[in-house]
Structure 1
Amino acid sequence: MPGPNPTMQALVLHEASPSLALQLQELPMPSIGANEVLVEVEYVGLNHIDARLGAEGFCRWQYPHVLGIDAVGTVVEAPVGVFPKRGTRVIFTTSLADQGVLKRYTKVANYAVAEVPESIPSAVAATLPNAGMTALAALDKIQLQAGESIYINSGCGAVAHFAIQYARQRGAKVFVSAPKGEHERIKDLGADVLFASKGEQLARDIKRELGPDGFDTILNSCGGETFVADLARLRFGGRIACLNGFSEIPQELLFSRAPIIAAVSLGGAWLANNLCAQQKLSFMGQQLLQDVGSGKIQAPGHRIVAFDVKLVSEALRQLYQQSTAVRPVVAVKPG
């Protein structure tokens, strides 16, 4: 329970910049509303989106801004009759538009959290929310069915880590593009076919493995021109999920593929102020915790980073500059 001191420590960003230079700052303690709980943050799971928006900015931010959308911690204050009660350990992902969770305490809607079972360490739980929920949302959007093919255009990140496993469990045949050095790890997750080639050679390799018809479904995590390239790999009437927007689609390609295009925006639950979507975040969190706890799903690798300006800034820069399967997890509480 927070003491009489009305402030707390936070790592803040004073401007969007690829340097991602954070500063330690004292901020006022959050005050909770009727359907909110106050959480003492234990670990923060850093995501590529944290690094990208920190480097490039976001239209809804005011500075200084606190980065971080995924956290695990303990409820220390809750209105009477509101679940979860004090002492409950929870995971959650928060709104991109609001101040983030790289701080000692944060508030969150009580209906958007998931209770962490004792069997799952907090640092592992912190790796699950955004990436795992995005993977689940993407597979649901494209309505992946048993016996269908799915192509994941970048197998290195945490979203792909979950998507590969869940796609395989749904009975799909999983094709993944990734650097050679990642193939053994990705194969262990359940991928059937891996590609390391690019451009025209990748097109030839896909045709050799799949035949001329194209993929039933595609998960495109990179956006931009890669989305258009992936559309050309889709069968007629196939479904494609895009996580990061896309450039203009050539008319001929649109007609020749007649695709079902699904934009996946986990943060949209908050940006659209959609209560049902926010509650679904809790349900997906519960599913991830249950699947990881039972051994059905393997959590992504992680490394612990101390709550330190230089160390966290460097971790964010590494995320911005490269894809990595090992995600930084910030230990907010001293220990």
Structure 2
Amino acid sequence: MHADFAAWSWTSGKGIDGLELIRKPFVQPGHGEVLVANRALALNPVDWKIIEWGHPAWRTGHVPGVDGMGVVVSCGAGVPITPGTRVAYHQSLERDGSFAEFCLLDADTLLTVPAALDDTVAASLPCPGLTAWQALDKVPVTGPSDVLVVGAGGAVGLLLLQLAVQRGWRVWATAAPRHHEHLKALGAVGVFDYRDSTWQQTLRASLGERRLKAVFDTVSGTHAATLTPLLSYNGHLVCIQDRQETAPLPAFTTAISLHEVALNSFHAHASLSDRQLLRQAGELLLEGLLAGSLIIPKRQDFDFYNLPQALHALKQGGDGGKWVARLKESSQIEFSQP
């Protein structure tokens, strides 16, 4: 194995244009850690946001990137994983991330990838898939109910909509018009253009006397608060971006429950059993992608060496595709055990 590897380095205060391709020395995995040779990485909105905004744990030289897929090449003590295992992962924002040829990870966060699943498909799942699963898990299953997914054209919303349909819920959604027919084909009973100022009134008319059991909002805490009148008594407001700092409705009215979703927090705050549940959920989602019972947005390939340009394209928006890069396999990799 070479003594170092290529990685994209962040510089404080310089944003996406400050990313620099550098060489980093290998670090051997410690207890409970693995070293993964990346085969693919996927971009998420959180990547460009934190690169531009900064993070309390980041210093110049930090490697960004939360989602990746690769092959375990080396294991630290106490790791029951065989080198050569294909894995996908969501990396903690506080550690060097996936924008590199290799990544050092906690072994108990890894998702085993089915043998027949494409590398870039697997890399595309962890952040949006686990976020969608966590959001859905906030709401108890109580039989057929009406729920709303706001922003179903994005990766999180798209997966959330499919999982909600599979629960047997009547799923309504908002998205740009170009996504409407596709979302209906996936099981949405109705889809609204979020730019239409009358969409909430149209949804109310469609519901009749019913109200929404849950609203899953992917926009902002402020936006989510405006949707609370649509909720039923004992309904659920699930914020995937931000959270509700103050109650959006008066006390003792519809008594709704407020939920925040914070996938990155599991790295610091989840118990061992929490991590096991998350891994099981992630691996089931990967199996769903392989079986075709779940789909992700179409992939837009980019060259690893053009990563900053891809981040700019993601930031500017577009057709909602998933930006992915496939990394070349190295003939210099030697699998090793502690």
SS across alignment from 1:42: strand
* 8 A contact 2:300–2:324 mirrored in 1: yes
Match of 1:188 in 2: 185
Give the 3 Å change call, closer, same or farther, for CA 82–16 of structure 1 in structure 2: same
1:314 aligned to 302, 309, 329, which one?
Answer: 309
Give, as a single letter, the amino acid of the residue that structure 1 aligns with 2:105: V
Q: Would the aligned equivalents of 2:31 and 2:77 in 1 still touch at CA under 8 Å?
A: no
Specify every segment of 5 or more residues in structure 1 that has no aligned partner in the other structure, as ranges. none
Residue aligning to 1:123: 120
* Residue number in structure 2 paired with 1:260: 257
Q: Which moved more, 1:285-294 or 1:159-168?
A: 285-294
Q: Deviations over 1:126-179 (max 9, x none)?
A: 111111111111111122443111101111210111111110010000100011
In structure 2, the CA distance between the partners of 1:230 and 1:318, relative to structure 1 (3 Å rule), is farther
> Which residue of 131, 139, 162 maps to 1:142?
139
* Correspondent of 1:328 among 323, 326, 329: 323
Percent identity over the alignment is 26
Cα distance change, pair 213–17 in 1 and its aligned pair in 2 (3 A) = farther
Match of 2:110 among 94, 110, 113: 113
SS at match of 1:191: coil
Assess if the C-alpha contact under 8 Å between 2:32 and 2:77 holds in 1: no
Offset of residue 246 of structure 1: 3.5
Q: Aligned equivalents of 1:233 and 1:248: distance in 2?
A: 20
Q: Is it true that 1:91 corresponds to 2:117 in the alignment? A: no
Alignment partner for residue 297 of structure 2, among 296, 300, 303? 300
**Residue 101 (structure 1) aligns with:** 98
Aligned partners of 1:178 and 1:118: how far apart in 2? 34
Gaps of 5+ in 2: 331-338
| Alpha carbons 1:224, 1:247 under 8 Å: kept | yes
Residue 262 of structure 2 aligns to which amino acid in structure 1?
S
Q: Which amino acid in the other structure matches residue 131 of structure 2? A: T
TM-score of the superposed pair, with normalisation by structure 2: 0.90
Q: Is 1:44 the counterpart of 2:41 in the alignment?
A: yes
Contact 2:16 2:51 in 1 (8 A): no
Letter in 1 for 2:30: G
- Do the aligned partners of residues 256 and 296 (structure 1) sit closer, same or farther apart at CA in structure 2, a change above 3 Å counting? same
Match of 1:208 in 2: 205
Counterpart residue type for residue 168 of structure 2: G
Q: Confirm or deny: 8 A CA contact 1:228 1:246 kept in the other structure.
A: no
More deviation, 86-95/20-29:
20-29
| 1:249 CA displacement | 4.1
Report SS of the residue matched to 2:198. helix
Matched, 1:57 2:54: yes
- Kindly indicate whether residue 297 of structure 2 is the aligned counterpart of residue 281 of structure 1: no
Identify the range of structure 1 (145-154 vs 68-77) with the bigger mean alpha-carbon deviation.
145-154
* Matched-pair contact (CA < 8 Å) for 1:72–1:89: yes
1:217-271 deviations in Å (ceiling 9; x for gaps): 1111112321111222211210121111135546644543321111111111113
Q: Do 1:239 and 1:259's aligned partners in 2 also have CA atoms closer than 8 Å?
A: yes
Q: Give the number of equivalent residue pairs.
A: 330
State the distance in 2 between where 1:314 and 1:218 align: 34
Cα distance in 2 for partners of 1:199, 1:298 equals: 27
Residue of structure 2 in register with 1:176 after alignment = 173
Q: Hey, what's the Cα distance between the residues in 1 that align with 2:222 and 2:88?
A: 34
Offset at 1:15?
2.4
